[in-house]
Amino acid sequence: MCKIWTIGWMAGDILSDQIDDILDLWYGFVGSHPHLVAYFAKGAQPNAEYLAKVRQRFGQWILDTCNRDYDQTWLNYQYEIGLRHHSAKKGASAGDVEHMYAAWFKAITLTATLWSYPYVKEGEF
């Protein structure tokens, strides 16, 4: 195993129970700078739901950075994360949106049908 991976795994072991402290420090830093808080706001106030999701992902990123092999799969995923935060990955064509809606509608219809099936008996409905 490469020395950098060994050191990374050791760091992951040490940091794993300190992630909340790291995130508290980071959120304190971001929260003390209004120009940074604006990126986490929905209207005038910070979006608490979004901040909670970012916190969870950021904590996982700390562990992944320490505990992952830096192989092509890892590199591809890091690139994908970058794209998700860039305008190049934000939109979809009208045709793609229509196909996604159709797939979603079919999944919801199937789910509702399956959930309803037990009630389609004499005297149940």
- CB-based contacts of 37, cutoff 8 Å, min separation 6: 30, 31, 46
| Same domain for 8 and 47 | yes
The whole-angstrom separation of Cα 121 and Cα 49 is: 41
Where residue 63 sits, what CATH number does that domain have? 1.10.490.10
| Same domain for 121 and 81 | no
Q: What is the pLDDT of residue 9?
A: 63
pTM of the shown model: 0.56
User: What is the domain count for the chain?
Assistant: 2
Lowest mean pLDDT among 7-11, 74-78, 86-90: 7-11
| Same domain for 55 and 114 | no
Tell me what the pLDDT averaged over the chain comes to.
82
Percentage of the chain beyond pLDDT 90 is 15
| Same domain for 74 and 97 | no
Q: What is the per-residue pLDDT across 11-70, written as a single tens digit (0 to 9) for each?
A: 778 888 999 999 999 999 998 998 888 888 878 788 889 899 999 998 988 888 877 777
Range of the domain at 98: 93-125
